[in-house]
Copies of this chain bind each other. A is one copy, B any other.
Amino acid sequence: MANAGTRMGLQIRSTVKKEGIVEISLAGVPTPEPKPDEVVVRIDASPINPSDQGLLFGGADMSTARASGTADHPVVTASISPTVLKALAGRLEQPLPVGNEGAGVVIQAGASAAAQALMGKTVAILGGAMYAQYRCIKAVQCLVLPPGTTPAEGADCFVNPLTALGMVETMRLEGHKALVHTAAASNLGQMLNKICIKDRVALVNIVRKPEHVDLLKKIGATYVCNSGSPTFMEDLAEALSGSGATVAFDAIGGGRLAGQILTAMEIAANRTAKEYSRYGSTTHKQVYIYGGLDRGPTEFNRAFGMAWGIGGWLLTAFLQKIGFEAAQKLRERVAAEIKTTFASTYTKEVSLAEALRIEEIAVYGKQATGGKYLINPNKGLR
């Protein structure tokens, strides 16, 4: 109902056009009136995660990005290759809202007691369309942050924390005793280290730069292997022997790393084997690909026997699998430890309009460790 009382708000939208371009724009949209079980949250903080960038950029080549529109209503366009475009048939010509998660203050509430109880509270929410000034959402989806927590501190309560916890839970549920993580110096990777240190779970970190080895060692990591080192495979096999890790979570996706991990796991498993087995070790070795920092093809040599698996891992599928109650326990742990275990750091805070500047996209679009942005959709507008 866009009547006189309707609150308008800015929202980032991404449209893949059938001619092979993505158009990212800032639109003014009416905020829905909350139903009895809903609230309206003023979003004060929302991180730009790699998983957001997939939807935001639509797989476009952002080096081709061009700006148009006005300062208040910027528009960015960029080209999408025909191959990538083919996979996007399902979203053609639809202006999609973006932003998986965020935090802010409840400024309007529906009639139900549960909704009313949230008025004025600082909450974290997950559910898309967070790159917006306002978000109408079910009260039950709000995670109330502990008193004294700012929206910026609580902005990343779900994607990274639940993914990190989900990895450790998956490890346990599938009977592994330790785990491997790639792109391990990321915000998520640092969280995972803190969880594993706290929970006494052995973790093998794989990074691509020597300075990331130092970074992780400094926060207490035991096993850190640099995939750029000439002794990487030996180092990795050694770390896998020491930790007993037989499951890995890979953010890279493309290239040979997933296969290298399985190969090193097989080498580690065979160190304790008593006799030659033509089909390799009977230890099940698993790599879950949960990201695509390298969008190129995945390639492996199958030099790791027959007891192995590679598969996709998706947070929402994992949460569905474990069920609401188990997932709620994980969420409550995140809220309780949001300033310690699950603290995120950001390079820069930007407004919605600033997030669409070509020079900012060039920085956060790299998805480099230590280059993470936070959007404050109400920056300069309150």
Contacts and interface: CB of A to CB of B under 8 A. Distances in A.
Interface of A: 54-55, 87, 90-91, 94, 96, 253-254, 259, 270, 273, 275-279, 282, 289-290, 292, 297-303, 305-314, 316-317
Copies of this chain, how many? 2
A85 B94 CA distance: 54
Given A270-B90, A299-B299, A300-B297, A314 B309 contact: no
8 contacts: A90-B277, A91-B276, A292-B302, A302-B312, A306-B312, A306-B317, A307-B312, A307-B314
Nearest to A277: B90
Contacts of A270: 90
Contacts of A55: 278
A270 B90 CA distance: 9
Contacts of A253: 302
Contacts of A310: 309-311
Contact of A298 (B254, B278, B279, B300): B300
A90 B273 contact: yes
A148 B308 CA distance: 42
Contacts of A302: 253-254, 289, 292, 297-298, 312
A168 B259 CA distance: 28
Contacts of A317: 282, 306-307
A305 B312 contact: yes
A278 B308 CA distance: 27
B309 A309 contact: yes
B312 A94 contact: no
A91 B278 contact: yes
A130 to B, nearest CB: 15
A279 B90 contact: no
Given A306-B314, A310-B311, 12 more contacts: A87-B303, A90-B273, A90-B275, A90-B277, A290-B306, A292-B302, A297-B302, A299-B299, A306-B313, A306-B317, A308-B311, A309-B309
The residue among A54, A254, A310 with the most chain B CB atoms within 10 A of its own CB is A310
Nearest to A253: B302
A19 B205 CA distance: 37
Nearest to A275: B90
A310 B91 CA distance: 27
A221 to B, nearest CB: 27
Contacts of A289: 302
A313 to B, nearest CB: 7
A277 B307 CA distance: 32
A309 B312 CA distance: 6
Contacts of A259: 297
A292 to B, nearest CB: 7
A312 B285 CA distance: 10
A301 B297 contact: yes
Nearest to A87: B303
A304 to B, nearest CB: 8
Given A298-B302, A308-B311, A311-B308, A316 B90 contact: no
A106 to B, nearest CB: 27
Contacts of A278: 54-55, 91
Nearest to A270: B90
A96 B282 CA distance: 20
A303 B87 CA distance: 7
A9 B50 CA distance: 65
Contacts of A309: 309-312
A276 B312 contact: no
Contacts of A290: 306
A316 B308 CA distance: 14
